[in-house]
Structure 1
Amino acid sequence: MADDMDISPSSPRGTKRKGDDSLPLPAPRRIKALAQDVVNKIAAGEIIVAPVHALKELIENAVDAGSTTLEVLVKDGGLKLLQITDNGHGIDKEDLPILCERFTTSKLKAFEDLTSIGTYGFRGEALASISHIAHLKVTTRTKGSSCAWVAHFADGKLASPKPGQSAEPKPIAGRQGTMITVEDLFYNVPSRRRAFRSGSEEYAKILDLVGRYAVHCVGVSFSCKKAGENSGSSMTVPASASVKDRIRQIHGSTAANELVPLSAEDDRWGFKCDGWVSNANYSAKRTQMLLFINHRSVESPAIKKSVEQTYATFLPKGGHPFFYLSLEIEPQRVDVNVHPTKREVHFLNEDEIISVICDELRNSLSKVDTSRSFMTQSLLSNPKIPFATPMKQTIPATPTTGDASDRSGSKAPQTATKKRNDNHLVRTDASARKITSMLQPQRSVDEIANGDDEMEYEHTEKEPMACRLTSIKDLRAEVRDAIHNELTDIISTHTFVGIVDEQKRIAAIQGGVKLFLVDYGMLCSEFFYQVGLTDFANYGYIRFNPPLSLHDLLKVAVEQEKNNAGDAADEVDWDDVIEIVKEQLIGKAALLSEYFSMEITAEGELCSIPLLMKDYTPSIAKLPQFLLRLGPHVNWNDEKGCFQTLLREIASFYVPESMPLPPSAVVDDSGKGKGKAVEEDPDTAARRKKLLRSIEYTIFPACKARLLGTQGLLKGGVMEVANLKGLYRVFERC
């Protein structure tokens, strides 16, 4: 071939030719067409870069052929042998002569067909390219054929298996489907062959590729192993396995156990996305991405980067996710013919589609990250068993820097010490001093932690009931839709500081390096409403022995209303109010008993009220007002409205009562001096002591484990009062 080309003498290698006007210009080289053999090898080198690329083309052809079983056999990383066997519809004998010619395909007729291509392969270059750089053998049988046919190919044409034999396909015994055997890949391209470092490295790439398609192609069984080995580094996936089971088998249980489904769709951008993504419990050293666009395994740096940025707010620093996404985009919006190996595709509205997917991913992670702690409450005979299992830490605390002698017995390496940023430090040790210990309160909450005798509980025979009511599902969905991610994160990782104002029901909590004031009345109202939704129809009982009279309770509530109404009290017939509410509650006794653990007899006696949380009993002083409000403040005419308003009233009943400010020193008549201390009523002091203990050691830990921060809590429920980073900046200017 070199004799046919006009090549001018070259300068010594590595010598830079200098421009010199005195030297004559060389004659221009003539342009000639490359020999067809060179063209084919160049094309083959672009499409088949490594054994894994050849296998990708063969797998896609097998799946296009309707196969339900694929068997891959590999030797020396695919360089010595690469064989794939399927049970698809096979290849007709009449098509074998042109099977390995370039641009011969059954999937494309006109260029316009590219706008609606729905198969993996379409250009007809895969087998042609392989035949130019390897020894190729095809054994195939169609359903209507009486036997299988075997053919050998070289340089795109039929070739004889041995010198002197015919190149025509030969009949042999065989099962339906196709077996393609590729031997001595790159035997005639020594520079490419020498570029591969080891067969083990190439086999690892092949296993990764087979694993990707094994996850995506549900209903197709895959097996991949080395030739001559019955066990070891092989892969087998049954056809009946689900997507999640396939991920578990290929990528391990660590990832599969933390997967949640993801689904996104937008008719405007013409796409649909389904997949499985890891939640905030899973974190790996590098991102594992399985991406399919129109069922073709592709790479997309834009999608990968956007997904990683979305996960950055949920995973610890240095953590990476696992995600499998399958995008179906309208074919006319996708250009599949932009990469020789079809590793990349381009599609319209890429940024918009990625944005929709990431928004849905963010919502899914927020729901799952918080719903992990939604545990069904059950009454236990042992009151010492904790209320809830502590939630896994999702955001790591910044470690403090200590002396080398405090860490381990080994000698610390001589490395440059990193400067500690104190404004980033977070107190994580539960035994560390609290901010309240710096003050001088009249009493310490810690001193009463072990006070009061514990409550007694007993088991009931009530079986847990699965809620299938659409109204409750809708109410739960409304809570999920109102989630505020940042607030939920603050609540789930907060540290309780102390009660600021018992009358206004304000407490201080620390979240990260920030200090917040919380209206725990509003916080508890939302918390008990969510508990009521989560444990709907599965509450415990607070029983009264003997039962309480509804009439007497409502009468007490009416007297309170009269005092609050003032002069307007005479305009209402309060006796009628008592009877109307009483009859209404007796009439709804079946509903209240079945769903809300409120047992009311036909004679008008209250036997029990719902128990929403262990180790905490609502103030019984609020019971009369709670029962009175069930009359006019509950929408008894609509199912969803009834459940919503009734749960809100129960949550309001469970909110801790507002305590009067504790008595302190009084001032004498002259306005001077400290005066003398006033002792608090013993009953009020006992109530205050019990309430403070419940708030710190029962309610706030339960909120930390179960409460979803919603948009409504931002309106006066939580307020930031200090930020350590901001304070450092202020003090730096002083």
Structure 2
Amino acid sequence: MSQDRIALLSPRLANQIAAGEVVERPASVLKELLENALDAGATRIEVEVEQAGIKRLLVRDNGAGIEADDLPLALQRHATSKIRDLADLERVQSMGFRGEALASISSVSRLTLTSRRRDAEYAFAVQTEGRDMRVQLQPAAHPFGSSVEVCDLFFNTPARRKFLRTEKTEFDHLQEVLKRLALARFDVAFSLRHNGKSVLNLPPATEPSEGARRVSMLCGSQFLEQVLPIALERSGLKLSGWIGLPTFSRSQADLQYFYVNGRAVRDRLVAHAIRQAYRDVLYHGRHPVFVLFLELDAALVDVNVHPTKHEVRFRDSRLLHDFLFGGLHQALAEVRPQSTPAVATETHAQTPLEQSAMPLAEAPAATWRSAGSGLQSKPGGFAVREAPAALYREYFAALDETQATDSSAEIPPLGYALAQLKSIYILAENQHGLILVDMHAAHERITYERLKQAMRHEGLRGQPLLVPQTLALSEREADCAQAQSHWFDKLGFELQRLSAESITIRQIPALLAGADAEGLLRDVLADLLEYGSSDRIEAHCHAILSTMACHGSVRAGRRLTITEMNALLRDMERTERSNQCNHGRPTWTALDMPALDKLFLRGR
């Protein structure tokens, strides 16, 4: 037959092509089987694997089971109990629904499916061995529920088997799949055995203490001690879970779990919003830690955009991005020296330019803006002026010197200053022990936050370009720039559309004088088209303010009085994000009495 003629593929080859979409490695098989078990209402799922699932992978559940007459059909392509019409597809509630899953797995393995419904007297089983979907039904011994046994994965496709990694690597992927689902379903018991040895045994977690124990087992014993609980709700969106403190970051993005209606997903819009929220507090090159659960109407999210359902598409991406960024950004802003962090809650989300505007101490802030902020008020906003050399002196003079130690008052989180070490660190005592503060890093954050607040309150002054810059854009980009012209105006830009595919930049923010205005604008438009929002202009401005804050803050080597040190401690307790400097480094640390006793072997 000529190679250029069109012909139908054989069922076996079609199934193996489909298998390439969903069966990459043993972990892919486990994911599909676990999701089917959860959709069947299982409350207990047992997983047994040999050679990381390459030789054998068994998933047994106590779910609803499958009717005997439906067992052969379960291995047919495009056969499912979860979708009946287009309306069901647009509001998918189940974990899995692709009819090819079992058919694809069975086409590249030796598969046995055994099941018994609660109203059935006997169990039945069907078997396939990588051939066409002709199966035979036979009685079997099995408790209520279902078992799927997959043996000799890729036995008939040796080229794909060669691409599998070592047994340890493949087993790590298997554990990660189970871990992701176990974090989403606390009500289900999970167990895992590998080569005959018990690896994981997770009982159902119905009480908060049991849930905490499961999270600690899966994410590490320190996880719950280093995270902020999140509970946000707005416009039909609900977000719950935990986000890591900036100091509890990772070198890899290996402790990040995001769930949409119980389904673990990876989404660029979500990742962008979370990355933005951490921008001001995370050390360069580090990755945040989070376990977050998003709930929304199933009709507002499309989970059928990728064969493995790892990716989703949101109907209103702008609303979701603002919700995630706003809520998490504010939660991180509220982290400051205190005994225990409160649960972050939100009933009204602000605009991206308002989101970190938590009020600071008014009198010092007002004086700071006028006397020592390095900003000069103008009719159209503020512009940069040189920061004075004695900037920190004005700052301390603006604070109340009446903040001296009062033994009758409650001891504040950072306590009261004792001394200064090497003119770099402040030593203070609180009710738990010793506090050490990097005075430059702490003052740098305070200065930076006040500069940002001044920018938010007074706006950005524009600076006209002597020679306007004309940009050649796509019509889509030019439409976006024109539609967002009011937003650009607020940020100090003046744009004029010349034609369908070109605009002119006539004015830029004064803070960005000398910057690559064309490159910045192109990046901003790319963000607006991709995510519905952009913080690149604000980020560039903040970078400049951060540099100003660094040069305008009290330097190492400067001797402070006890009063000045206490004033700095009190302002740290009032200032957003004061646990980290502008570069993400910690500003203070603590040694409680047990830690100090341990250093000196007391009590032994």
Normalising by structure 1, report the TM-score: 0.49
Cα distance in 1 between the residues matched to 2:264 and 2:75: 24
Q: Does 1:517 align with 2:385?
A: no
Matches within 5 A, 1:303-382: 303-372=270-339
Q: Which residue of 2 aligns with 1:275?
A: 241
Deviation at 1:312, TM superposition (A): 2.9
Matches within 5 A, 1:462-473: none
Q: Which residue of 1 aligns with 2:549?
A: none
Cα distance in 1 between the residues matched to 2:286 and 2:318: 25
User: CA contact under 8 A between 1:75 and 1:81: conserved in structure 2?
Assistant: yes
- Which residue among 147, 153, 156 is the counterpart of 1:185? 153
- Which residue among 121, 133, 149 is the counterpart of 2:124? 149
Secondary structure of 2:38 counterpart: helix
- Which residue among 3, 6, 12 is the counterpart of 1:37? 12
The one-letter amino acid of 1:235's match is L
The one-letter amino acid of 2:77's match is R
Deviation at 1:99, TM superposition (A): 1.3
Cα distance in 1 between the residues matched to 2:240 and 2:400: 36
Count of residues in correspondence between the two structures: 392
Normalising by structure 2, report the TM-score: 0.59
User: CA contact under 8 A between 1:66 and 1:89: conserved in structure 2?
Assistant: yes
User: CA contact under 8 A between 1:56 and 1:209: conserved in structure 2?
Assistant: yes
Q: Which residue of 1 aligns with 2:475?
A: none
Q: Does 1:237 align with 2:237?
A: no
Secondary structure of 2:293 counterpart: strand
Q: Deviations over 1:637-683 (max 9, x none)?
A: xxxxxxxxxxxxxxxxxxxxxxxxxxxxxxxxxxxxxxxxxxxxxxx
Deviation at 1:282, TM superposition (A): 0.8
Q: Which residue of 2 aligns with 1:69?
A: 44
Higher relative strand content? 2
Cα distance in 2 between the residues matched to 1:488 and 1:258: 32
Deviation at 1:36, TM superposition (A): 2.2
Q: Does 1:169 align with 2:138?
A: yes
Instruction: Pick which of 365-374 and 120-129 moved more.
Output: 365-374
Q: Which residue of 2 aligns with 1:223?
A: 191
- The runs of at least 4 consecutive aligned structure 1 residues that moved more than 6 Å come to 510-514, 524-529, 531-535
Q: Does 1:285 align with 2:261?
A: no
- Which residue among 564, 567, 575 is the counterpart of 1:700? 567
Cα distance in 1 between the residues matched to 2:188 and 2:316: 32
Q: Deviations over 1:96-134 (max 9, x none)?
A: 121111111111111221112211112322111111111
Relative to structure 1, is the Cα distance of residues 372 and 366 closer, same or farther in structure 2, using a 3 angstrom cutoff? farther
Secondary structure of 2:248 counterpart: coil
% of aligned pairs identical?
Answer: 29
User: CA contact under 8 A between 2:111 and 2:128: conserved in structure 1?
Assistant: yes
User: CA contact under 8 A between 1:151 and 1:158: conserved in structure 2?
Assistant: no
Matches within 5 A, 1:202-213: 202-213=170-181
User: CA contact under 8 A between 1:263 and 1:360: conserved in structure 2?
Assistant: no
Cα distance in 2 between the residues matched to 1:108 and 1:200: 37
When the two chains are superposed, the root-mean-square deviation of aligned CA atoms in Å is 3.6
The one-letter amino acid of 1:706's match is E
Deviation at 1:197, TM superposition (A): 2.4
Q: Which residue of 1 aligns with 2:229?
A: 261
Secondary structure of 2:106 counterpart: helix
The one-letter amino acid of 1:112's match is A
User: CA contact under 8 A between 1:334 and 1:345: conserved in structure 2?
Assistant: yes
User: CA contact under 8 A between 2:71 and 2:125: conserved in structure 1?
Assistant: no
Secondary structure of 1:253 counterpart: coil
Q: Which residue of 2 aligns with 1:104?
A: 79
Relative to structure 1, is the Cα distance of residues 367 and 71 closer, same or farther in structure 2, using a 3 angstrom cutoff? same
Relative to structure 1, is the Cα distance of residues 372 and 517 closer, same or farther in structure 2, using a 3 angstrom cutoff? farther
The one-letter amino acid of 2:243's match is V
Ranges in structure 1 where 5+ consecutive residues have no aligned partner: 8-28, 160-166, 376-479, 490-509, 536-612, 615-691, 711-734
Q: Does 1:249 align with 2:214?
A: no
Secondary structure of 2:107 counterpart: helix
Deviation at 1:260, TM superposition (A): 1.2
Q: Does 1:6 align with 2:2?
A: yes
Q: Return the index of the structure with the highest Cα Rg.
A: 1
Cα distance in 2 between the residues matched to 1:199 and 1:513: 63
Cα distance in 1 between the residues matched to 2:195 and 2:364: 54
Matches within 5 A, 1:611-626: none
Relative to structure 1, is the Cα distance of residues 482 and 70 closer, same or farther in structure 2, using a 3 angstrom cutoff? same
Cα distance in 2 between the residues matched to 1:202 and 1:182: 15
Cα distance in 1 between the residues matched to 2:290 and 2:389: 29
Cα distance in 1 between the residues matched to 2:576 and 2:251: 30
User: CA contact under 8 A between 2:11 and 2:132: conserved in structure 1?
Assistant: no
Q: Does 1:134 align with 2:109?
A: yes
- Which residue among 94, 100, 123 is the counterpart of 2:69? 94
